[in-house]
Amino acid sequence: MRSLDGVLPRAPTGRPRVGAVGAVLTLCLLGAPMMSLFPVGLWEAAEALTMSGAGMGILAFAPLVAGVILLMTWLGTRWLEGAGVNHPTSAASLVTVTAMATPVFVAFLAPAAVPVPSNPTLSIAVLTAAVATLGMGACMAWCGLPGRFQAGVAPAVVVVAALFSALPVISDGMLARAADERSREQIESFGQTIAVLDHPRWSLDEVHEMDGALRFTYHDPDGTPVYVHTWTGLHARGSEGIRSGCEFADVRCENADGAVEVYRGGSTPAELRTYLNDGVVVCLTSEPGSPVDLVATARSLRPEAPGERESLVESVTG
């Protein structure tokens, strides 16, 4: 039956025709990436119209969009048909839909799944070519299987759907890896001694570079956070640094055993600032209303040990 033919026609020798294979690969590797530029350009045009206040003008593109998609499908069909490919309309439609869907799918569900981060448009083209080629490649591989049953473009539909389902997972993995690399760089490149909260109740989970500080986030078994800020820049050392901001009317600072308790309208300190052994200023904070005793917690602060940064990285990225 025609509906159960494979995508590739057979030569008299029984092998798939080389011309048909070349036509399919050309459509996937060249045609699909070029088609994927259409939704990218359309999105940019829609953004420009929205920013200019003519957002309703987007509706005027609907007939154009439909016409261009139909034209691309028709051209793909003629191309495959000329090479003798079976089910040319189904195959061309699948490649066209893949090219239209990939940019939208990546933009909304898999923003980090970009093989070329510096060039999003090129990344879309590469991904489209890969998805279309793997999908149609599954059809061509199916044609080589022994047996009479052939499934048309069904293998491509399954593979393309599976790849689209995998893209968000890949994107999440790439985001996590990028975050780990950023955390490693922040810790390893920090230019002075890092303050560590050394207490079995508190575990290190996150690191962030903030304005004038490297902030470590620790959590206790109940999930309560406490933040250790190792200051940098002008306020990193000296009495002026540890009392920075104390001159404001709504801020009250009190000395406490070499540390400075900073109050902002409450009866408990909002910050506790102290020095490391080498004079670097450390600031300990918690969430407003948190039950954390900053004074007691600060007793567990210490400077990093030699070679400890790798274990700090592992704590944050592990």
* Half-sphere exposure in the Cβ direction for 136 (13 Å, CA): 33
* Whether the predicted pLDDT of 1 surpasses 90: no
Residue 13 predicted with pLDDT over 70? no
**Which of 186, 206, 227 is where one domain is finished?**
186
Final residue belonging to a domain, choices 129, 164, 186: 186
Q: Across residues 123-130, what is the average pLDDT? A: 96
**Residue 101 in 3-state DSSP?**
helix
Q: Give me the number of domains the chain comprises.
A: 2
Q: Is 233 left (phi over 0), alpha (psi -120 to 50) or beta?
A: left
- 200 and 176 co-located in one domain: no
The answer to which of 18-22, 107-111, 169-173, 275-279 has the lowest mean pLDDT is 275-279
Residue 158: count of CB within 10 angstroms of its CB: 14
Distances (CA, A) of 97 to 115, 139, 191: 21, 16, 51
295 contacts: CB under 8 Å, gap ≥ 6: 256, 259, 261, 269, 272
- Quick one: 175 and 65 in the same domain? yes
The yes-or-no verdict on residue 54 having pLDDT over 50 is yes
Q: Residue 256 CB: number of other CB atoms within 10 A?
A: 14
And the tokens for 162? Answer: 């599976």
Q: Answer yes or no: do 181 and 212 share one domain.
A: no
Shared domain for 177 and 283, answered yes or no, is no
Q: What angle do CA 198, 201, 203 make, to 5 degrees?
A: 65
- Of 28 and 151, more confident: 28
- Tell me how far apart the alpha carbons of residues 128 and 108 are, in angstroms, rounded to a whole number: 15
Strand residues in the chain grouped as ranges (E):
195-197, 203-210, 213-219, 225-231, 252-256, 259-263, 271-275, 281-286, 301-303
pLDDT digits (tens, 9 = 90+) for 87-120: 999 999 999 999 999 999 999 999 988 888 889 9
| Residue 55: per-residue pLDDT | 59
210 shares a domain with 176: no
- Which of the residue ranges 35-44, 229-238, 295-304 would you say has the lowest mean pLDDT? 229-238
pLDDT of res. 144? 66
234 shares a domain with 204? yes
Provide the domain limits for residue 220.
195-317
Query: Under a CB-based contact definition with an 8 Å cutoff, are residues 111 and 171 in contact?
Result: yes
Q: Which residue has the higher pLDDT, 263 or 60?
A: 263
- Extract the runs of DSSP E, i.e. beta strands, from 157-212: 195-197, 203-210
Instruction: Decide if pLDDT at 148 tops 60.
Output: no
Q: How far is CA 44 from the centre of its chain?
A: 21
Co-location of 70 and 151 in the same domain: yes
Query: Tens of pLDDT along 244-277?
Result: 888 888 899 998 887 899 998 878 889 999 988 8
For residue 279, the model assigns a pLDDT of 81
Who has greater pLDDT, 54 or 273?
273
11 and 144 co-located in one domain: yes
Query: Based on the domain organization, do 152 and 216 belong to the same domain?
Result: no
Residue that terminates a domain, selected from 143, 159, 186: 186
Whether residue 238 has pLDDT greater than 90: no
Do 154 and 252 lie in one domain? The reply is: no
Whether residue 156 is found in the same domain as residue 20? yes
Contacts of 96 (CB under 8 A, 6+ apart): 35, 69, 72, 73, 76
Instruction: Specify the range with the lowest mean pLDDT, choosing from 12-16, 28-32, 189-193.
Output: 12-16
Name the amino acid, one letter, at 158. Answer: V
Cα separation, 279 vs 290, in Å, equals 28
Relative orientation angle of helices 309-317 and 154-188, to the nearest 10 degrees: 150
DSSP letter assigned to residue 267 = S
Is the model's pLDDT at 5 over the cut of 80?
Answer: no
In sequence order, what are the beta bridge partners of 253? 262
Dist CA 46 CA 214 (whole Å)? 41
Q: How far apart are CA 256 and CA 218, in angstroms?
A: 23
What average pLDDT does the segment 285-310 reach? 91
Is residue 19 domain-shared with residue 164, that is, in the same domain?
Answer: yes
